[in-house]
């Protein structure tokens, strides 16, 4: 039997920000391959539809909803649509995220607020809508994609992102304890330096202006930072999320899995 056979997974950020595989896209496809019926959410309908087409081509089932999960009304509507079409939600994956540079002196209040909204408030709103459903079912799993920036300084000024992801980790721990006797588990995946379309976008936009490096040097530096000698892939994040969502992790709650190639263990920027 497949790990998520017969379960419904609500996955936010299921599209990708460019050609290739982002974390949410890989998670949606991986979950579908393991038997889940996936309800994928993204602000970019075209990106979400691309993921859906891949799932469908492999014989899986995926529905798509479009909306901004930093808005309560949008989240409630998306969750209601998922339940109306698929009957339940067994797994919630909080995957949306965005890192913008800046320290308190240089970051605008608007950027700070957006970092909290995208990286933390979105998970709160999704949990607010989904947890009562899981409690009624007597079982559920929430997997939130945080970051090694939540627990380490990763070599660049991103105060808002780091604070929000740290908040996501602690939010998950506290709620996990509250819901432990209700059959609902909450855990986080903490990716390190990953090679995703978002990184390609950042390399193009910020490499020269922020680091003085060209694109190739930007990538080489990221690879060199990792003890394993290379960045990870979205599939590494997806496999960790699959484990935490499945019954293989039925006695695991309120904790985190590092997916970072040893980066945090090395304790270096």
pLDDT value at residue 201? 77
The parent domain of residue 40 ranges over 8-192+233-258
Confidence of residue 219 (pLDDT cuts 50, 70, 90): confident
Q: Is the pLDDT of residue 269 over 50?
A: no
Confidence of residue 210 (pLDDT cuts 50, 70, 90): low
Does residue 153 sit within a domain?
yes
Q: Cβ neighbours of residue 110 under 8 Å, at least 6 residues apart?
A: none
pLDDT value at residue 209? 57
pLDDT value at residue 182? 98
pLDDT value at residue 102? 93
Number of domains in the chain: 2
Active site residues per annotation: 161
Q: Tokens 């309120």 identify what position?
A: 254
pLDDT value at residue 207? 57
212 in the same domain as 156? no
Give the number of other CB atoms < 10 A from CB of residue 168.
25
Higher pLDDT, 241 or 155: 241
The pLDDT of 207-227, averaged and rounded, is 78
90 in the same domain as 220? no
Q: For 31-41, write each residue's pLDDT tens digit.
A: 999 999 999 99
Does residue 263 sit within a domain?
no
249 in the same domain as 157? yes
Separation of alpha carbons 185 and 252, rounded Å: 7
Q: Is the pLDDT of residue 211 over 90?
A: no
Q: Read off the CATH number of the domain in which 89 is found.
A: 3.40.50.720
């Amino acid at each position: 039997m497949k790990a998520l056979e017969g379960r419904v997974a609500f996955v936010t950020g299921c599209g990708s920000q460019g050609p290739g595989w982002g974390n949410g896209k890989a998670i949606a496809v991986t979950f579908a391959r393991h038997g889940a019926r996936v309800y994928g959410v993204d602000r970019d309908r075209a990106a979400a539809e691309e993921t859906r087409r891949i799932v469908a081509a492999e014989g899986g089932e995926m529905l798509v909803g479009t909306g901004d999960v930093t808005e309560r009304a949008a989240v409630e509507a998306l969750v209601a649509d998922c339940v109306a079409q698929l009957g339940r939600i067994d797994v919630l994956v909080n995957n949306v995220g965005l890192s913008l540079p800046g320290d308190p002196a240089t970051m605008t209040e608007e950027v700070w607020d957006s970092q909290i909204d995208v990286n933390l408030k979105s998970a709160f709103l999704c949990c607010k809508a989904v947890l009562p459903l899981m409690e009624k079912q007597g079982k559920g799993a929430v997997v939130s994609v945080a970051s090694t920036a939540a627990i380490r300084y990763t070599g660049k000024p991103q105060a808002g992102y780091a604070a929000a992801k740290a908040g996501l980790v602690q939010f998950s721990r506290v709620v996990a304890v509250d819901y432990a006797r209700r059959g609902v588990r909450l855990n986080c995946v903490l990716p390190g330096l990953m090679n995703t379309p978002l990184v390609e976008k950042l390399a193009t936009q910020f490499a020269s202006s922020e680091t003085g490096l060209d694109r190739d040097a930007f990538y080489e530096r990221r690879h060199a930072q990792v003890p394993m000698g290379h960045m990870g892939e979205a599939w590494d994040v997806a496999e960790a999320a699959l484990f935490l969502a499945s019954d293989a992790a039925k006695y695991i709650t309120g904790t985190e899995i590092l997916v970072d190639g040893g980066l945090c263990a090395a304790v270096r920027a």
